[in-house]
Amino acid sequence: MLLTLRVQGTRYSLRTGNCSRSRWLASNAVVEKSPSPAQPQLEVNGSTYATDSWTNVTPKILSYLGANKHLQKDHPLSIIRQRIVNYFYGAYRNQRGNPLFSVYDKLNPVVTVQQNFDNLLIPSDHVSRQKSDCYYINKHQLLRAHTTAHQVELISGGLDNFLVVGEVYRRDEIDSTHYPVFHQADAVRLVTKDKLFERNPGLELFEETWTGSLADPKLILPSSKCMDQTKQPCHTLEAVKLMEHEMKHVLVGLTKELFGPRIKYRWVETYFPFTQPSWELEIYFKNNWLEVLGCGIMRHEILQQSGVHQSIGYAFGVGLERLAMVLFDIPDIRLFWSNDSGFLSQFSEKDLHNLPKYKPISHYPQCTNDLSFWLPSDVDVDAGFSPNDFYDLVRTVAGDIVEQISLVDKFKHPKTGKSSVCFRIVYRHMERTLTQAEVNDIHKQIANASVDSFNVQIR
């Protein structure tokens, strides 16, 4: 049977907030089973894609394509986008006074594994590639997991100062700060020796001892050898320090522009496969250090692969929901998807600098139900079972009335060896009170769908 899935919504013309340190540092591969037999073909934004054992996008997830919340008039994410873009327009101008940065905010979120990972030197066994972390269309294509996925295509096209803004897709737990679709802005700035050392001619971008070409893929260093926080072997210390200084100056400028001049911040060294050295910027907010963005000096191999040999660059990525939640005091990430006029009417892009604080529409009560089941006898709770598969099923069946899901218990029967898991699902509607009967009904549907999809046995 040939099953075709159509996705509603507008077409695209052409994926840190969530850039958590652990995501990029961890590096052990886990091989998993596919959740259920996939459709042979998928149609996404007018293109048809073959499906295979990697396919794990759900109709629910595909329904977000084209929503373009970051471009929707008066939407808080659009307001944050405009603040970031305007800041970059002002921070960098050419001799004629025009903005140096160009902005790409409608790029197709369907990207290749090469764009999302290989081009960015992400090791082939890196955890971020797992099926349990990404939404794959098939083995070769996925919904971008970060907007960094577009770096190489844009640099190869000749661009040297650009911003990419768009939604990104990651399989994740469900709570008030995690949602499978969120938005990021990424930037790249490349400079040549003449520009970087305008005031110090005679200094060099590259070490004399460095032979000049990394184009041979065998010479590309594995990421494990790229942890040195001082610099990459090819760059001179002067070049890296000047670039680091410019980047940090601009990003602290952006943070102050967004959060006000008195914000407390700190730089934390970190690791990304695509930058070296790398940092995260954290701000002090409500008695906590909150990570706002990830950045670093771009790995020179990436520039070389893109045909750029005589420049050094910096790149950064930032999660828009996280910024918006802080700036507008929005307590729950699901609100960004609300069409309730009570929510949307609170924000206006007329005055980008006068951001109102969000006023809760009202507080509806939560309903909490547990669901326990035995896994099939050949599935082990710690090896073959991925909670993210269950989270997706819950999202598909129950949609946004699910506020949180947590794995509250796992148990392995000493005699039968069978594993059992217990999930706690918290239901809450954003706009009205849910009745217990209504919740029970949906809970039952989730239980039935779990039996069908995962061959589990309800306890």
Taking the complex as a whole, the smallest distance from the CB of residue 246 to ligand PHE amounts, in Å, to: 15
CB of 183 to ligand PHE, least distance (A): 11
User: Can you tell me the distance from the alpha carbon of 383 to that of 366, in angstroms, rounded to the nearest whole number?
Assistant: 32
Contacts of 157 (CB under 8 A, 6+ apart): none
Q: Can residue 104 be called a binding residue for ligand PHE (CB under 6 A)? A: no
| C-alpha to C-alpha distance for 345 and 338, rounded to whole angstroms | 11
Interatomic CA distance for residues 190 and 196, integer angstroms = 10
Residues touching ligand PHE: how many (CB under 6 A)? 13
Q: 2-31 mask for ligand PHE (x: CB under 6 A)?
A: --------------x--x------------
Q: Measured from the CB of residue 1, what is the shortest distance to ligand PHE in angstroms?
A: 38
CB 413, CB 368: distance < 8 Å: no
Enumerate residues 416-455 that contact ligand PHE by CB under 6 A. Answer: none
Query: Which member of 70, 126, 131, 146 binds ligand PHE (CB under 6 A)?
Result: 146
Per-residue binding string, ligand PHE, 163-192, x by CB under 6 A, is: -----------------------x------
Q: Please identify, using beta-carbon distances, which residue of 121 and 327 lies nearer to ligand PHE.
A: 121
Among residues 76, 166, 273, 294, which is the contact residue for ligand PHE, using CB under 6 A? Answer: 294
In the complex, least distance from residue 247 CB atom to ligand PHE, rounded to whole angstroms? 10
152 binds ligand PHE (CB under 6 A): no
Binding mask 302-341 toward ligand PHE (x if CB under 6 A, else -) reads: -------------xxx------------------------
Beta bridge mates, 318: 185, 293
Q: d(Cα 247, Cα 265) in Å, to the nearest integer?
A: 15
Task: Check if the beta carbon of residue 268 is closer than 8 Å to that of residue 295.
Answer: no
Residue from 51, 78, 115, 148 that binds ligand PHE (CB under 6 A)?
Answer: 148
Angle at 87 between CA 241 and CA 246, to 5 degrees: 5
CB 457 within 8 A of CB 451: yes
DSSP string covering 147-212 = GGGGHHHHHHTT-SEEEEEEEEE----BBTTB-SEEEEEEEEEEEEHHHHTTTSBTB-SB-TTS-S
Which residue, chain included where needed, has tokens 């305008």? Answer: 198
Place of tokens 């293109």: 47
Q: Verify binding: residue 296, ligand PHE, rule CB under 6 A.
A: yes
- Minimum gap (Å) between residue 165 Cβ and ligand PHE: 13
Q: How far is the CB of 238 from ligand PHE (least distance, A)?
A: 22
The tokens for 27 are 């590096």
Q: How many other CB atoms are found less than 10 A from the CB of residue 353?
A: 8
Smallest separation, CB 96 to ligand PHE (Å)? 29
> Residue 95: which residues within 8 A CB-CB, separation 6 or more?
none
Kindly tell me which of 322 and 334 has the beta carbon lying closer to ligand PHE. Answer: 322
Cβ atoms of residues 139 and 43 within 8 Å:
no
Question: CA-CA distance, 400 to 60, in Å (whole number)?
Answer: 11
Among 49, 88, 135, 272, binds ligand PHE (CB under 6 A): 272
φ, ψ of residue 37 to 5 degrees: the values are -60, 135
Nearer to ligand PHE by Cβ, of 35 and 296: the residue is: 296
Contact, 136 vs 235, CB < 8 A? Answer: no
Q: Which stretch binds ligand PHE (CB under 6 A): 76-84, 92-100, 288-296, 353-361?
A: 288-296
Of 180 and 296, which CB lies nearer to ligand PHE in the complex structure?
A: 296
Q: Which of residues 275, 306, 311, 419 is near ligand PHE by CB under 6 A? A: 275
86: left (phi over 0), alpha (psi -120 to 50) or beta: alpha
Residues paired with residue 411 on neighbouring β-strands, in sequence order: 420
CB of 302 to ligand PHE, least distance (A): 10
The residue (of 312 and 401) whose beta carbon lies closer to ligand PHE is 312
Instruction: State the Cα–Cα distance between residues 83 and 85, nearest whole angstrom.
Output: 6
Give contact residues for ligand PHE (rule: CB under 6 A): 16, 19, 146, 148, 186, 272, 275, 294-296, 315-317
